[in-house]
Amino acid sequence: MTLALVPALEADKPILANLYSLYLHDLSAYTERLTIHSDGSFVFDDLDYLWEEVGISPFLIKYDDHLIGFLLLLERPYLKKEIDYSVNDIFILNSYRGKGLGLEVIENLFQSKPGSYYIIELSANKPAIIFWKKVYQKLNISFKEVEEHIDEDACLIQTFDVDESILQRN
Which residue, 96, 169, 97, 168, is CA-closest to 128? Answer: 97
pLDDT for 54: 87
The structural domains of the chain, ordered by start, are 3-169 (3.40.630.30)
- The residue among 107, 31, 105 whose CA lies nearest residue 62 is 105
SS (H, E, C) 12-47: HHHHHHHHHHHHHHHHCCCCCCCCCCCCCCCCCCCC
- Distance between CA atoms of residues 89 and 112, nearest Å: 18
Are the beta carbons of 48 and 82 closer than 8 angstroms? no
> Coil, strand, or helix at residue 86?
strand
Residue 126 is predicted with a pLDDT of: 96
What confidence score (pLDDT) does residue 108 get?
Answer: 93
pLDDT at residue 88, as a whole number: 93
Contact 3, 106 (CB under 8 A): no
- pLDDT for position 168: 63
Residue type, 20: Y
Closest CA to 75 of 118, 46, 134: 118
Phi and psi at 15, nearest 5°, equal: -65, -45
Mean pLDDT for back-to-back runs of 10 residues, the chain (170 residues): 92 94 91 78 78 91 95 90 94 94 95 95 95 94 94 93 69
pLDDT at 169: 53
CA distance 41 to 56: 24
